[in-house]
Structure 1
């Protein structure tokens, strides 16, 4: 997945989650209101049926009312004022408060006086209470849920499509600049190669025995600068042109490789008055030699660069792990979350492009290695790389 796709995916995910939460809140309220309206309509129908039951029972007896209830597909329990059950084809809930409506097993139920128009009536039916149970509305409620859920998904889909094109449109200028920067780095990397090779060759072929101590020091400084530039060139070449899916892996003797790289960095240690503390045991790893060399070079270079003058750098190699520690300002916990991001730098005094640790992380992922950083502000910094 490209960096552009990752960014758009993150934006869309955040936008979709917030939109879903926002719309869910209104959908739930919409469902509650629709549910209440459905129940209210059922209660209204039951009240109309209740009046019909009273009229039928008063004029033609309770059996005619039973026929009406069967026709309307409702059940009832009619209880007289003194608690006598006049009619029952459903459970009587005599402890229920009067003038209430509620759901029972998905059915709307009302419990109230059988008639409320004649307040002075004294007949058994006139003073009786009725518990009237209507139809099962669970299927209606499920249909209501599906309808609201469908509307929610439709709206979210429309929002996601609009958000995708808005995010893509708004990020286009940024990605154009990033692509221009990457093209510049690739072009610059290509142009650096020839003059850098000439400088390094000239330094190696210079007869140092004929130079004065002052000029020799100057030449050493030029060599250090050329080596630093060579490291940057190698890093840029790897990041810009390497294809991790086509790397060749081999068995690497890490002890020999560390000794080789420590010899290469010896002038850098001397420049900052650092005597490295070296503890190398025999260890090997199956990985890409070029990539592992780039990783080690970056970790040693950073340890030297960010160590205080006259400080210390320790390198410890064991069978399944190596650790590189340096003194210095340390790295905060907050900064450690971002140290592997490309172009991220927290110390402007030391220069650089902020690509070294990004390269290290990429090498670790490519070769199945684990890397952790242990550090705090004003404490030592340790990078540990392990493998199984």
Structure 2
């Protein structure tokens, strides 16, 4: 059986991975962001406290100069910081700054990678009412470290998530494997009796049979065709990846007519009429067996789910094949899940739920687009375009 992941399993993996990764990454981003802003606030606090100490140094120097009252004084200067003093009207008295301060409203602020602190003086030493101290702001050097750490954590999270997903999906894979093995064994056992039934039905002489017996033979033949169709699907499912594809120029019109005739008895039992709008000599390059499986699955589903005494319209032209029934239809949710292997919406009809899974694999191989339109209690129209 195909060892690739089924679409349902892929969706489960993507869903679990997406949920786990998104929640984990959101938590990581929240923690890292909170830590970054905490460190930033702590840095601002440290900067402010340092500037307060510098401001006290200036105040002490101004106080000493004020008491000496010597007109020949030199404004204090320090290597660690710069300062300026302003009078009560916020006019500059003296400054060691390289740039002017435009406003003295904020007590503490950062501008052009420099930290500023404004404190008031009382009494007004040397006529100064305000002291402004300035220092180079320390760089917050944790951002790069946080980015590297985040990358490492994300990689570990992704690896862990794959491990967890595989652990969670292990029981599902085991169940699918059991189902595949069961189907494989069942298919093997069906081969001989199906061949025997179909061969004997074809060789039966029905000329001497009464009408009641003929009806019984028709029922047996139809039932055998149904079993044969399921058998062919199972064989395709089991062996498709092991057999080579033989793409040839097919007369799709002839194949379509042949497959409609093949299902004629099955349709007659439900008094279903085929309306054929098939253009002659429509050609398509593909593997004959695969195209027959594609057509058979769409036709058999149309017959299976349509009501009695209705019609199935089959249309074919150079770029399109459509099969429309007047059956029970499907909901939007059912159409979205229709290609899921082993999923059956109406369990009363039997089958393994593999028909549309086979259809999907074939149309994907030949780049055929499929459009399914359906209304409940109105019918379903399947359109293939290429």
Common fold: TM-score over 0.5: yes
Contact 2:114/2:137 (<8 A) preserved:
yes
Q: C-alpha separation between the residues in 2 aligned to 1:341 and 1:191?
A: 26
Secondary structure of the equivalent of 2:109?
Answer: strand
Alignment partner, residue 14 of structure 1: 19
Distance 1:251 1:172 in 2: 43
1:24 maps onto 2:25 in alignment = no
Q: Give the conservation status (yes or no) of the 8 Å contact 2:62–2:126.
A: no
Counterpart position of 1:349: 348
Moved more, 368-377 or 144-153: 144-153
Partner of 2:99: 91
Residues 14-53 of structure 1: pairs in structure 2 closer than 5 A: 14-53=19-58
Aligned residues: 373
User: Which structure's relative contact order is higher, taking Cα pairs within 8 Å and 6+ residues apart?
Assistant: 2
Q: CA deviation at 1:242?
A: 0.7
Displacement of 1:63 after TM fit?
4.9
2-structure distance, mates of 1:215, 1:17 = 66
Q: Offset at 1:264? A: 0.4
Offset of 1:94 from its aligned partner? 4.3
Query: Normalized against structure 1, the TM-score is what?
Result: 0.89
Tell me whether 1:65 sits opposite 2:76 in the alignment. yes
1:55 corresponding residue in structure 2: 60
Structure 2 unaligned spans of 5+? 66-71
TM-score, with normalisation over the residues of structure 2? Answer: 0.89
Output one character per residue of 1:211-267: Cα deviation in whole Å (capped at 9) or x when no partner: 221111111111101111111011111111112894221111111111110110110
What is the aligned counterpart of 1:109 among 109, 116, 119?
A: 116
The 5 A counterparts of 1:1-388 are 2-3=4-5, 6=10, 7-59=12-64, 63=74, 65-66=76-77, 68=78, 71-72=79-80, 74-88=81-95, 89-99=97-107, 101-113=108-120, 115=121, 119=122, 121-124=123-126, 126-130=128-132, 132-137=133-138, 140-141=139-140, 143-243=141-241, 246-282=244-280, 283-387=282-386
Q: 1: distance between equivalents of 2:262 and 2:73?
A: 108
Q: Distance in 2 between matches of 1:281 and 1:62?
A: 110
Maintained 8 Å contact 1:272/1:310: yes
For the aligned residues, what is the CA RMSD? 2.3
Conserved 8 A contact 2:331-2:375: yes
Please give the secondary structure, in 2, of the residue aligned with 1:25.
Answer: helix
Cα distance in structure 2, aligned partners of 1:78 and 1:232: 96
Map of 2:68 onto structure 1: none
